[in-house]
Structure 1
Amino acid sequence: MTDHVQPSRPGSDGTATAARDGGSVYSSHRYTGRGRTEAACGTDDTLPVPAVQSVLDGLPGSVTFLLPVLDADGAVTDFRIAAASPEAIDIGARRGKELIGLSVAATYPTVVGSPLWDGYLQALRTGVRYEGDPFEYEEVLAGIPRLSRFAVRASASHGGLIVSWVRLDSGEREQRRLAVMQRLGGMGWADWDLVHNTITWSEETYTIFDRDRSAGPMTLEELPAYVVPPDLAELGAVVERLLGTGQPVDHTFRLTTSGGEVRHVRIVAEAESDVHGRPVEVHGFFQDLTAVKRAQAQLLESQQAALVHRSQLTAERDVAERLQHALLPLTHQSLSLAGLTVDVAYHPLQEGLNVGGDWYSAIKLPDGSALLVIGDVAGHGLDAVATMAQLRFTAKGMAITGMPLPAILTRLNTLLLHTAERSFSTATMIMAHYEPATSKLTWVQAGHPPPLLLRRGSAAYLTAPAGILLGAVPDPRYEAASMHLRPGDQLLLYTDGLIEKPREDLDTSLARLAGAAVRSAADSGVLEGILNALVDPVARRDDVCALHVSLRSPAGPDPAVPASAVS
């Protein structure tokens, strides 16, 4: 079906009855029915398109002038936009002049055959203004379908239609957005007209108060019946200030719903006053803070529980530290015992916990002599600590009684073998007894690396007396050896964690320790120098314990060191 071009006929004013715009025909005939047109050229109501456009240029909103497109039988097949107001905007965001020349059927294809299309034809035929129900139109923009609703009016004028529309979905979308915001925020607005004594609530306000919509908004007289009694007086004072002086309020109170639930509700409101300063309207909102208050209560409860727990942990840590100091050796210590200076370094593998199987003791005995002990329980962790504590305190207790050192080792071996829950294997140990009056050092060992003697710039390991590690056999033999310390002598007791390296034989490890000790002997921090030279804090795989003993001043005779005592 093709557009039918009516022949141009001169009218009384010499104008043409049809005009062509870009190949489109805009008929100047008034439509009187299918197949019939009444020549409008030369009549009083005929206006050229530029004149219509000049009128629309002064109109606000979305307004267009449509001219019908006829087929050969005079039936309307399309409408074309001949003029448009500057503010006109369609679903595709086309504005003003961008709309001029567009075909309605081609641009908005779903309109054809719709109630809106029928309304256009009826208004053009009868001259009666068309104003139907809101019209929905869907257009796909950037691949996304967009459905919009319009309120459309169409009036016949000058052989065409003056069409205006208002987009409804934008306002409805804002209302939906506001409703969502109120629901998510637990807020509902309220207006009070104090002059006419009317109240208006939003939907969410009914939800907050758990009130039936059919009952209408709650009046101020009804409110006290729902407010928790302890909150009533303060809320009444707040409302009185709001209604009396117009002072803005922001107050939280509790109310009981019809279902018996206690809710925390916040009211924020301000008043509008007349020329005399009397409030005439109040606008505000209610907010349900029940969930927030519940969360705050839970948080407070958790904080209080955390404080109690923290106090318990502090007390437990204090007890643990006290027990640790009582049961475990200190990590660093410098002592003066019986004319000796004893420096200690203790580095368990589990740093921070100070828990390991190595240990030492350096104490003064009742007779004024000194007891020096160093030991190593096989393994790590709490099991090794438990065994270490047994050996450490048992050895000191027996030494205080004056029991000979070999006998002490024998009894410690028996203790290990007869422990009810034996979660360990063996232990090594050195015990040394120093008599300041004679400078005599007597020592025994149970499978432990030999002490290192530093004298006059050289180093030598003491020859170890007989003694197998503790817990290995039921009837071990332990012997004692002795030597005399000279002024300036230094003696190093240590555990195997100081010397051992993977895939390195023991002789090489001992030689490396002797070399580091000689190089550090001239410094004031001998023990620190040895540790820095030999211990890798990252790569080490065992506990490290070392005692550095030096004779501070001459004490007693200064006999030569027996050749059999030094290897």
Structure 2
Amino acid sequence: MTANRDEADVPESSTSNLGGAASASAATRHAVLASSRYVPRRQWSAGAERAPALPAAAVQELLDGLSGSVTFLLPLPGADGEIQDFRITAASPDALDVAGRRGKELVGLSLLETYPTVRGTALWDGYLGALATGTRYEAEPFEYEEVLGGIARLSRFTVRATPCQGGLIVSWIRLDNGEREQRRLAVMQRLGSMGWADWDLARKTTTWSEEVYSIFGRDPSLGPTTLEELPRHAVTEDFPALSRAVRSLHGRGRPIDHTFRIVTPAGEVRHVRIVAEAETDVSGHPVEVYGLFQNLTAVKRAEERLLQHERAALAQHGMLAAERSLAVRLQDALLPLPQQSLRLAGLTVDVAYQPLQEGLNVGGDWYSAIELPDGSALLVVGDVAGHGLDAVATMAQLRFTAKGMAITGTPLAAILSRLNTLLWHSSDRGFSTATMIMARYEPDAGLLTWVQAGHLPPLLLRQGEARYLAPPHGVLLGATTTPRYDSATIRLLPGDHLLFYTDGLVEAPSEELDDGLARLARTAAECSDSVRPLDGILDALVHPDTRRDDICVLHISV
């Protein structure tokens, strides 16, 4: 310990430090520790490393037993004896730098070649000072930025450097990881409207996270609320239940999951959920309580809105169901027989009426087949636009009005004109329109006079051939205040068949109307020789899975 001392470089006083290291004034001395003795600067060779008293393997073995980030730095002097750099000669297994290098990957690296921006910083001066004075250096938290792969990475560290065996034992803690986790936790709490609380019953201390203050609308300067005081925040109605839950938690250590309402200082009513459990001592008495608060106000309001919507939907459903029931009963009263066969004025009239009646889809298709006082027959098929009670009510108006006027002998074209006026001047008019075809058959002459208001033309079957009658002029009812309705006459021969029908018989999704009319003509011709042609037509054309509308058909045969 006394050999080869250079008096010019020996400190005025020295004390043993971990390996015989001595301290010196940084202002007057710039000597460095070398193994167990000082080595004068003039005896250093340029670029030479000074070996520690302990072998590198021994230092590494020592660091292998340490946790955290720890390295051993050996100073590298220049030609003038000044320290130019440090070499990492040992590293703990958990050592991790900003670039992700770990443990032995750090061994052998040069400090300034690896972290070039360190030179000239307070950290660099701290290393030199610790080595020169033999005193431990603790850095204030600082930021270090390294560019890797073109991406700048900024991290915060706190560093401790302790002189030892001619070098420095350097340990560091990366602060940004913990801070980042803290920020993530804060963001998660804010997004989830949750916050944590801790009640230390033994020390009588309470800790709230920031989000709990936000949930309660409480000024953080007032501090948190004790567990015993918590029920005081609840509204009057919720106070008893919350008090019982807190007493059970505080006294018996039973976990709670309870929702209550509070009124914030701003006057807002909030729904708050607390989930908490206690940690007990060996006797089973609670000593600490951990809890979570969650602001459920938005959820509760959404539930209330949903409940209101459900109630409104149920009420609407009830109204619509009642309307459908009334419409069905009214429709059944107006058209009591969905299928029947009549003998009128020398004609056989087969009726087929098939309402769709899915849900509230009660339509306005209707028919009428009666014998008039003069011995002629009145034959009518109509279709009111729309569905539901309004359509059925409009259908009733048209059906009974047309029948009444026909009984009084009113010409058919005049009947349509007056029905049009009726639709236009109804006090409860919802802009309803209707199509209609009406005919009067005179048996003595065998003449059929007919009119139509925007309706599909009748289909005549004669001697096995099917053709549509050319319709006289007539627009649908309710379309204009100045309509024009003409009539047409045809003589029916023995063996003739005539079809009056609504559009539900021929219309199909994604298909042109002309295609449906052509299909009806082909089918009617194929069924003309059967005993009941109408049954064959319906079986061939009506498919329950694809139909979308009511169907009403009058099959008239001479």
Question: Which amino acid in structure 2 is aligned with residue 452 of structure 1?
Answer: L
Q: CA deviation at 1:534?
A: 8.6
Greater Cα shift, 527-536 or 302-311? 527-536
Which of residues 181, 194, 203 is equivalent to 1:187? 194
Q: CA deviation at 1:110?
A: 1.7
What CA distance in whole angstroms lies between the structure 1 residues aligned with 2:140 and 2:483? Answer: 106
Match of 1:431 among 405, 417, 440: 440
Question: Could you say which residue in structure 2 is the equivalent of 1:46?
Answer: 53
Given candidates 493, 500, 511, the residue that maps to 1:494 is: 500
Please point out which of 231, 236, 249 is paired with 1:242: 249
2 CA distance for matches of 1:513 and 1:227?
Answer: 74
2-structure distance, mates of 1:296, 1:425: 45
Aligned to 2:132: 125
Q: In structure 1, how many angstroms separate the alpha carbons of the residues matched to 2:219 and 2:468?
A: 100
Instruction: Give SS of 2:99's match.
Output: coil
Q: How does 1:225-264 map to 2 (within 5 A)?
A: 225-264=232-271
Residue 543 and residue 441 in structure 1: after superposition, are their counterparts in 2 closer, same or farther (change >3 A)? farther
Q: 1:459 to 1:370 in 2, by over 3 A?
A: farther
Residue 102 of structure 1 corresponds to which residue in structure 2? 109
Q: 2:124 corresponds to which letter in structure 1?
A: W
What secondary structure sits across from 1:178 in the alignment? helix
Give the Cα separation in 1 of the matches to 2:468 and 2:170. Answer: 118
For 2:143, the equivalent position in structure 1 comes to: 136
Q: Is the CA contact (8 Å cut-off) linking 1:265 and 1:287 kept in structure 2?
A: yes
SS at match of 2:267: coil
Change (3 A) 1:387 1:480: farther
Which of residues 265, 282, 285 is equivalent to 2:289? Answer: 282
User: What residue is the counterpart of 2:342 in the other structure?
Assistant: 337
Matched, 1:67 2:70: no
Cα 1:311–1:290 shift into 2, 3 Å: same
What amino acid sits opposite 1:492 in the alignment? L
The equivalent of 1:443 in structure 2 is: 448
- Within 5 A, what are the aligned runs for 1:290-329? 290-321=297-328
Deviations 1:507-566 (A, max 9, x none): xx99x97764342134466235447879999xx9x9986422458xxxxxxxxxxxxxxx
**1:373 aligned residue (375, 379, 403):** 379
**Residues 75 and 347 of structure 1: CA distance in aligned 2, closer, same or farther (over 3 Å):** same
Letter of the 2:414 partner, please give it: R
Retained in 2: the 8 A contact 1:338–1:370?
Answer: no
Question: Which residue is 1:14 aligned to?
Answer: none
Against the structure 1 CA distance between its residues 519 and 204, is the aligned structure 2 distance closer, same or farther, given a 3 Å change threshold?
closer
Any conservation in 2 of the 1:409–1:478 contact (CA below 8 Å)?
no
Is 1:449–1:496's contact at 8 Å kept on the other side of the alignment?
no
Deviation track 1:226-250 (CA, whole Å, cap 9, x = no partner) reads 3212222222211221122111111
Name the count of aligned residue pairs. 494
Does the aligned pair in 2 maintain the 1:32–1:126 contact within 8 Å? Answer: no
Residues 324, 228 of structure 1: alpha-carbon distance in 2 compared, 3 angstrom cutoff: same
Structure 2 residue aligned with 1:362, among 351, 358, 369? 369
- Determine which of 175, 178, 181 is the counterpart of 2:182: 175
Query: How much does 1:77 deviate?
Result: 1.6
Distance, in Å, in 2 between the alignment partners of 1:543 and 1:239 is: 65
- C-alpha deviations, 1:53-97, integer Å up to 9, x for none? 222222222211111222211111211111112221111111111
Mapped to 1, the partners of 2:397 and 2:366 lie a distance apart of 11
State the match for 1:409 in structure 2: 412
- SS of 1:338's partner is strand
Distance 1:151 1:304 in 2: 62
What percent identity do the matched residue pairs reach? 51
The amino acid across from 2:415 in the alignment is L
| AA in 1 matched with 2:66 | L
Of the structure 1 ranges 98-107 and 152-161, higher mean CA displacement relative to structure 2 is found in 152-161
- Aligned-residue CA RMSD (Å): 5.1
1:121 to partner: Cα distance = 0.8
Q: 1:30 to 1:236 in 2, by over 3 A?
A: same
**Cα offset, 1:203, TM superposition:** 2.1
Shift of 1:276: 1.8
The 1-side partners of 2:37 and 2:118 are apart by 20
Distance in 2 separating the partners of 1:463 and 1:432 = 18
The answer (yes or no) to whether the contact 1:467–1:479 under 8 Å persists in 2 is no
Amino acid paired to 1:192: W
Q: Is the 8 A contact 2:72 2:91 kept in 1?
A: yes
8 Å Cα contact 1:34/1:75 also seen in 2: no
**In the aligned structure 2, how far is the partner of 1:429 from the partner of 1:188?**
77
Q: Secondary structure of the residue that 1:148 maps to in structure 2?
A: strand
Task: State the Cα distance separating 1:417 from its structure 2 match.
Answer: 8.3
Decide whether the 8 Å contact of 2:381 with 2:553 is kept in 1: no
- In structure 2, the CA distance between the partners of 1:470 and 1:208, relative to structure 1 (3 Å rule), is closer
In the alignment, which residue of structure 1 is the partner of 2:208? Answer: 201
Amino acid at match of 2:53: T
Secondary structure of 1:165's partner?
Answer: strand
Contact persistence 1:61–1:85 (CA under 8 A): yes
Query: Aligned partners of 2:312 and 2:513: how far apart in 1?
Result: 53
Q: Supply the distance in 2 between the matched residues of 1:191 and 1:116 (Cα, whole angstroms).
A: 38
8 Å CA contact 2:460, 2:468 repeated in 1: no
Q: Retained in 2: the 8 A contact 1:459–1:514?
A: no
Correspondence list, 1:385-424, <5 A: 392-399=399-406, 401=407, 403=408, 407-409=410-412, 411-412=414-415, 415=418, 421=424
Inter-partner Cα distance in structure 1 for 2:523 and 2:221: 95
Equivalent residue number for residue 267 of structure 1: 274
Q: Name structure 1 gaps, 5 residues minimum.
A: 1-26, 552-567
> What TM-score do the two structures reach when normalised by structure 1?
0.70
Paired amino acid for 1:547:
L
Letter in structure 1 aligned against 2:144: Y
Question: Once the 2 structures are TM-superposed, how far is the Cα of residue 118 of structure 1 from its aligned partner?
Answer: 0.8
